[in-house]
């Protein structure tokens, strides 16, 4: 049996926005809703492995429900601007992934989803419908599964509902779920319901009489006078509420299954969008061909294999007082190679070589006498300079610190982000290049791949220095960089080198006690709130 997955666009975006901590890319654009949406979508695709996929969005225009009840959804708060700006970009992402987007004036996304789900069931398909809106439980059948993502303990879990699950949870069938909502109303959608009939009473009435018609046929049997009188006085309001609550499943839609075939999600266009949004965790999903990036500006990295050639190069660079871009390639804090970039004959050269003890010692002498630009200098000081620095920090530049000072609210920093933001150069990230492989172990199998990655990084360090210095000067942050941040980086390195004596057993016991107390407090908060939510989310 072929399978169709349908996603309620705005609903899942909204849930992702409040469930994922605030994220922005280097340009300050908010990305947490898009990132969370994709996380949920990829989880669903992995679990369902569908043949067809479609995402439906609401259109900002009156629907047929507004025509019959102008106050419909009138109590909803405006969408936060940080979320609103992500909606059109979310659609761009989906279009780049060749995912069909469905929206139609006069209809809500629920109506589009309901229509497609029922049509697909009639055509012999199984359906998984993903939404944070429980209204769609009325669509559940034995072949239509409603999947509702929930944030629990900081992670995403998905509750699944077939028809029997709706009956087990609410005591009514999916069709009865509509009438349950008609009776008790819905403040989120501003559906009035019957005054004085809340959820508990509505459930009791539905379980006793089976339907709204059954309730009104036996209205004289209802013991509580206020409920009986309210029902009698508000039959038209009850019927109106049922109409508002009922999802249309017979909409005139032109979409075909062929429009929604799952194929080629991870293509060149999608890669470019993911890269722009700086979704590094997703880039490994792309093939090498689709992840082709602009490397036209990168000089080829030359690998030096002979130690004598390496030492000769380092000696020549020292004599010429050459400014260097330098990256020490390390695995578990142990160096296994190094990449250098420097200007030569009006161009640039990238060199990579393995790191023997003699080479590292000679490199340390060189870096004490020339200007060096690197990345994350604190973790490389041991191989860059003598034990005590007796020179100006003007000779050292940490691209990581410079990028941080220019944009301190980012979530993380890496050499690829610096290249993209400050040089307009797209580089493959570490995970894209190596995946779960160790670069050091990969040296023997694909030396060129390792060399090219570190050579590109050293090249970015060399060329981005002047760009970052100019931007720091414009923001009056250059003195902060050289007089405070760079010296502080050495102080931190020195502290880490000296270390701190601790009693491991006592430290572990203290940590365990804190963890236990945190769990107790979290459980208490959830009890008092009456539901589980992500305590680490400021919005929630």
Closest-CA residue to 265 (of 81, 414, 49): 49
Tell me if 109 sits within 8 A of 91, measured CB to CB: no
What is the model's pLDDT at position 342?
96
Q: Count CA atoms within 13 Å of residue 141 on its CB side.
A: 14
Concatenated DSSP letters of 23-35: -B-TT--B-HHHH
Q: Does residue 394 or residue 158 have the better pLDDT?
A: 158
299: left (phi over 0), alpha (psi -120 to 50) or beta: beta
For 451-463, what is the mean pLDDT? 96
Q: Check residue 34 and give its pLDDT.
A: 97
* Mean pLDDT in residue range 371-391: 80
Q: List Cβ neighbours of 78 (8 Å cut-off, separation of 6 or more).
A: none
Lowest mean pLDDT across 92-96, 254-258, 344-348, 384-388? 384-388
Q: What is the average per-residue pLDDT within 247-270?
A: 91
Q: What is the DSSP string of 66-84?
A: HHH-TTTTTTPPPPPHHHH
Most confident of 185-189, 430-434, 499-503: 499-503
pLDDT at position 391 is 53
Please give the Cα distance from 326 to 309 (Å, whole number).
18
Nearest to 337 by CA among 305, 308, 366: 305
What ranges make up the beta strands (E) of 355-507?
Answer: 372-374, 396-398
**Stretch 373-387: mean pLDDT, rounded?**
85
Q: Mean pLDDT of all residues in the chain?
A: 90
Neighbouring-strand partners of residue 3: 126
Cα separation, 164 vs 387, whole angstroms: 71
Number of neighbouring beta carbons within 10 Å of residue 181: 24
Task: Show the tokens assigned to 480.
Answer: 């902060």
Q: How confident is the model at residue 368 (pLDDT cuts 50, 70, 90)?
A: confident
- pLDDT over 60 (residue 137): yes
**Residue ranges of E strands in 183-323:** 301-304
Nearest of 114, 136, 150, 155 to residue 15 by alpha carbon: 150
The CA–CA distances, whole Å, from 9 to 14, 84, 108, 152, 256 equal 9, 13, 11, 21, 19
pLDDT digits (tens, 9 = 90+) for 263-321: 889 998 998 899 889 887 787 787 766 765 555 578 999 999 999 999 999 999 999 88
- At residue 43, the pLDDT reads 94
Q: Are 323 and 375 in contact (CB under 8 A)?
A: no
User: How many helices (DSSP H) and strands (DSSP E) are in the chain?
Assistant: 23, 12
Residue 298 has a pLDDT of 84
């Amino acid at each position: 049996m072929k399978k169709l997955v349908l996603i309620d666009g705005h609903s899942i975006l909204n849930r992702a926005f409040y469930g994922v901590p605030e994220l922005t890319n280097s340009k300050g654009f908010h990305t947490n809703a898009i990132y969370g949406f994709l996380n949920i979508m990829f989880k669903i695709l992995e679990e369902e492995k569908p043949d067809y996929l479609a995402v439906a969005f609401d259109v900002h225009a009156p629907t047929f429900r507004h025509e019959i009840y102008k106050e419909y959804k009138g109590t909803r708060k405006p969408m936060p601007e940080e979320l609103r700006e992500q909606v059109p970009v979310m659609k761009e992402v989906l279009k780049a992934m060749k995912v069909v987007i469905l929206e139609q004036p006069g209809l809500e996304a629920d109506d589009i989803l309901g229509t497609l789900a029922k049509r697909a069931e009639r055509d012999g398909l199984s359906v998984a419908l993903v939404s944070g809106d429980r209204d769609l439980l009325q669509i559940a059948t034995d072949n239509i599964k409603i999947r509702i993502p929930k944030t629990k303990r900081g992670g995403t879990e998905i509750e699944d509902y077939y028809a029997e699950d709706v009956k087990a949870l609410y005591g009514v069938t999916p069709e009865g779920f509509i009438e349950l909502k008609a009776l008790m109303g819905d403040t989120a959608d501003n559906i009035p319901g019957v005054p004085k009939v809340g959820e508990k009473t509505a459930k009791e009435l539905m379980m006793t009489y089976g339907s709204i018609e059954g309730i009104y046929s036996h209205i004289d049997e209802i013991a509580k006078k206020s409920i009986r009188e309210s029902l009698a006085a508000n039959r038209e309001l009850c019927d109106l509420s049922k109409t508002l609550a009922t999802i249309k499943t017979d909409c005139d839609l032109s979409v075909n299954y062929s429009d929604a075939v799952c194929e080629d999600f991870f293509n060149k266009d999608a890669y470019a969008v993911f890269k722009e949004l700086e979704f590094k965790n997703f880039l490994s999903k792309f093939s090498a061909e689709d992840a082709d990036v602009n490397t036209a500006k990168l000089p080829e990295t030359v690998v030096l294999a002979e130690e004598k050639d390496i030492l000769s190069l380092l000696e020549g660079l020292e004599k010429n007082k050459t400014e260097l871009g330098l990256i020490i390639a390390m695995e578990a804090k142990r160096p296994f190679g190094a990449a250098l970039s420097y200007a030569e004959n009006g161009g640039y050269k990238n060199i990579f070589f393995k790191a023997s003890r003699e080479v590292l010692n000679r490199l340390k002498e060189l870096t004490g006498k020339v200007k060096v630009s690197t990345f994350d200098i604190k973790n490389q000081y041991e191989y860059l300079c003598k034990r005590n620095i007796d020179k100006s920090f003007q000779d050292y530049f940490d691209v990581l610190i410079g990028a941080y000072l220019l944009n301190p609210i980012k979530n993380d920093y890496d050499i690829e982000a610096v290249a993209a933001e400050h040089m307009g150069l797209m580089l493959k990230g570490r995970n894209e290049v190596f995946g779960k492989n160790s670069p050091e172990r990969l040296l023997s199998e694909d030396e060129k791949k390792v060399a090219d990655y570190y050579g590109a990084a050293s090249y970015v360090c060399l060329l981005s220095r002047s760009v970052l210095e100019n931007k720091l000067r414009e923001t009056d942050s250059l003195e902060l960089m050289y007089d405070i941040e760079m010296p502080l980086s050495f102080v931190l390195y020195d502290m880490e080198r000296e270390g701190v004596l601790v009693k491991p057993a006592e430290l572990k016991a203290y940590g365990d006690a804190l963890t236990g107390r945190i769990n107790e407090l979290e459980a208490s908060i959830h009890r008092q709130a009456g539901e589980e939510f992500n305590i680490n989310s400021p919005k929630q």
